[in-house]
Structure 1
Amino acid sequence: KHVAFSLGVSKVERLFYEFIRQIGNFRLTKDESDKNKLSEILDELSNFCELYDSHRMFVFYNIANIYYLCIVEENEEVLKSKEIEIENVLKEMSNIFDKYNLDTFYQNIKFLTDFLLFEYYTKTKNHIRAEHYLEKINPEIDAICPQHISHFYVVEFLNAKVEKFLTDGSVDRLVELNSRIEENIDIDMAETYHYIAYKKFKAISKFYQKDFSGAARIINEMRNELSMKKYLFTDIECKLFQALQYCIMGEDGLCTQLISSLKRQIKPSEEQYTSAKLFIKFLKTALKPAEYRRKIKKVNEQWLEFAQANTGEHAILPFLKLDEGLIRRITNPIKDN
């Protein structure tokens, strides 16, 4: 019986890391088959938990389950309805970490309860609670980042910070930890999802700090370092974001080059990339010479058309917020770099 239990714990651990790898893959592809694999792994984890009374299995399953809910669950009401359940599960998890305080694995991941609560409350737009957990995380970040085990959790934390920014609009809050994270984290290119997600976060930070050439450079370097052929969705998203920087900077030639490449890429699966096509249309209008007032009206209309069509789990550039000032800058042919 004990041997079966030990094998069960090992199997759950393997499934858990497979789940983490697979959820990164899903983030990059937005593919239905990757999404299905995730729910299959989660079901398997759940079955083991029901079979054995094990705190280790409880921890693995619930970390996976909460990330699944926060990343894959589209319905905000469903998420909100799970608040008490999630709070209780994470309270129990904290108790396990305290009880087994000599367990090095638990000590290395005990920061996760705050990370998961921050992510959950950001997703459900409960900003007071999200802010509370962000305050708790800030002093811990230097110790968390160097651990290889924490790379997935850190990039998910950064994704949640971008989501929070889209509501509160505070650039200072978005970037306040960037230099400390940069000093302490070392993500290998072989960790494809972590590497791409971290570079994207840095580029998004530059963009909202109005360092458009910095944002373009980060994305361009990443695309030169990595082959993104397997991750069409992310490749298209990164190219669109890079093209936007060139458009803002008045680098029309570079922007047009990327647009041509994107159109070729999208052609075989056009129906999946309706919003990407609308964003290309928006960029092309911004590049075309026209009378300023007529042009700004058209650019605004096309931005609105893109924003309205760009919903659901295949939404592209969900981190993009353009204010009136940026729209004017995109439209105005006399651009200051």
Structure 2
Amino acid sequence: MVRTLAILGLTALLAACQGGDAGVTRAAASLNANPGAPRASTQNVNPADSRVAKEVFGYIDAASRQASESFGGYARGCQAGAVQLPETGPTWQAMRLSRNRNWAQPVTIDFIEDLSAFAATLPGWEGIYVGDMSQPRGGPMLSGHRSHQTGLDADIWMLPPQSLDLSVQRRETISSISMQRAGGAYVNDRWTPEHMALLRRAASDPRVARIFVFPGAKVAMCAAETGDRSWLSKIRPWYGHHYHFHVRLNCPPGSPGCEAQDPPPAGDGCADAQTWVDDILQPRAPDPEPPGPVVPRRELTMAQLPGRCQSVAASD
């Protein structure tokens, strides 16, 4: 919200992150985004750039002074003109600040503000703790996620905040809580109706493309929902994701270079989630054919990212 960022007085942020088309989002407007900011150029792209992309983007500590835009896909891309989520807001705190991964596109900042304000209305929640978003210019990370590269992903902790005055040091040491039981087949006794309400609110937001959470949570929500079930289609079972849920937003307006993910399959997806659970409880027999040799995953090079990511990385 405009008033939120104005109150926080982000002078340094304004100098580092002038991006975004005027009027596209509240976050862009609140940062006095310059509609005339340069866009990432396609000039001087080197198709043979063999630098390891994570070694380039992983050490850049500030956003580019370009118009806000996402390039490429969630696991093979970058972002220009990112906005930094303030470390503490009225209804959120950014965690693990030493990682410098609290950067995103303006639409993602707006979403976090909105979801956290809703969370603060839930019994026992003061707001949300926000985990990894993206690096200042997106791109592959030195460790951890394969996605989170375009400024459109955010991890929301399952831990209900009891206070929003954690010190920087405390945010490095505090842990979220696991919600899974039986290897992710079921939720445990820490799971509450408020967790479901928060996920329902996030999935019902038209800006959201998908939300990843462990299979048992999806099955529990499928069993508990007695009303509109349309939001459940965006809740996708995935490995891990029991300490946090992962929100992925759609490509925003003004980012023609952003590669959208296919929409979720038709239906509520509950049968698919139950299949995941069944496989956890009764793993399928291994393939009788011996597996082939394990091929190490190759690191993405700059040449394998969208061409504009080279100018994003090189920009002021």
The question of a shared fold, defined as TM-score above 0.5 by the shorter chain, is answered with: no
Higher helix share: 1
Q: Which has the higher contact order (CA 8 A, sep 6+)?
A: 2
Give the strand-richer structure, 1 or 2.
2
Rg: which structure is higher? 1
